[in-house]
Amino acid sequence: MFTKSNRLIALLLAVVLVLTGCGATTAASSSQAASSAVQSSSQPAEAQFPVTVTDALGRTVTIEAEPERIVSGYYITSSMLIALGLKDKAVGIEAKADTRPIYALAAPDMLELPNVGTAKEFDLEGCAALEPNLVILPVKLKDSATALEQLGITVVAVNPENVEQLYDTIEMIGAATGTTERAQKLIDFSKERYTMLEELAKLEEKPNVYLGGNASLLSTAGAKMYQNSMIEAAGGVNVAAELEDSYWAEVSYEQLLAWNPDVIVLAPGATYTVADVLADPQLSGVKAVTNGAVYQMPQSIEAWDSPVPSTVLGSLWLASVLHPQEYKPEQFVNDTAAYYDEFCGVSINQSLLA
């Protein structure tokens, strides 16, 4: 537990009042994509500081020394800290960490860390009190990033909304923390598996897939959602790709019946079950239900339907369901075990992948 000094609190409140009254602006246009290009320190490989990166808000950020106290306000980058071997340097993480099994499996001590809230309710004062020398926040928290910088705290903003942006983020965090070699290994693992999956994209017969969301089967992902690329990489066709929504879209039973998917997949965090879908009389005419082709993504490790560092495993799992002859379920188990052994130091058994 860290003691908040009077000076810190006073300065923090002053910054918050300025931002509230005047409206905060970022140091550079947020339209600039996350390039995470290292701009200085051409020294060899690891742990050469100072180092400068460009974050997802287009801000130039210099990290003067190797960070020893890191706060991650986003579950994707918290998982990244584990994969990059930085879990022992974490001093604070996002709220609701106990809902993410990867922490209990690979970094149980992280569950005991103070939480700094969510993207909707970020705890600015609590974060500052942890005395971090690097804070990683999603771009939604750009005002909080500005406030923390006013306190002399180094902040980088991330926006891993697709696979390429995920690679950018891994590269940037690797540079900012002196773990560039491990970051490259993490990226290479993913790229090698996606390259292998490219063969499935050439298949003439691709099953039509419907992905049900966490809250409801009638919530699904259109073409602008990350989940669409997951389905396509696995050699499937997203029946909801015609939807233009940039978030989960609500559809009707009539629409689902009209799409008549070959396969229905439930998101890892679904609050309903495969049995619920198979027993729903309103879906009795859907091919996937008639043929028993309803599956739930494994939920005992990570949400692979989001761009976490292990996200390629989501496409691999789906490929093993859609094309078991081309990519065998046993190979999925082997690839999953290889990832978590190398990057998280844990052994994965079959029961976690059911």
- The CA–CA distances, whole Å, from 19 to 14, 56, 150, 248, 281 equal 9, 21, 11, 31, 53
Q: What pLDDT, on the 0 to 100 scale, is given for residue 353?
A: 84
Per-residue pLDDT averaged across 250-260, rounded? 97
Q: Are 179 and 214 part of one and the same domain? A: no
Same structural domain, 114 and 41: yes
Find the domain containing 298 and state its range: 203-353
- Cα 42 from Cα 100, distance rounded (Å): 37
178 and 236, same domain (yes or no): no
pLDDT tens, position by position, 94-127: 999 999 999 999 999 999 999 999 988 999 999 9
**Is 270 inside any structural domain?**
yes
pLDDT at 281: 96
Tens digits of residue pLDDT in 318-351: 999 999 999 999 999 999 999 999 999 999 887 7
Residue 5: inside a domain: no
pLDDT at residue 349, rounded to an integer? 81
Same domain, yes or no, for 173 and 212?
Answer: no
Looking up tokens 């989001």 gives: 306
Looking at the structure of the chain, the number of domains it has is 2
Share of the chain above pLDDT 70, in %: 87
Domain edge (last residue) among 138, 171, 192 = 192
Could you say which of 138, 158, 192 is where a domain stops? 192
Residues 90 and 172 in one domain: yes
The reported pLDDT for the residue numbered 203 is 85
Same domain, 210 and 159: no
In the chain, the percentage of residues whose pLDDT exceeds 90 is: 81
Whether 25 and 164 have beta carbons less than 8 Å apart is answered as no
Cα gap 294→57, rounded to integer Å: 40
Q: Are 153 and 218 in a shared domain?
A: no
The per-residue pLDDT for range 30-62, each reduced to its tens digit, is 334 444 444 433 334 456 899 999 999 999 999
The pTM for the full model equals 0.85
Residue range 171-202, pLDDT digits in tens = 999 999 999 999 999 999 999 999 999 988 78
Asked if the structure places residue 9 within a domain, the reply is no
Q: Cα(137)–Cα(195) distance, rounded to whole angstroms?
A: 30
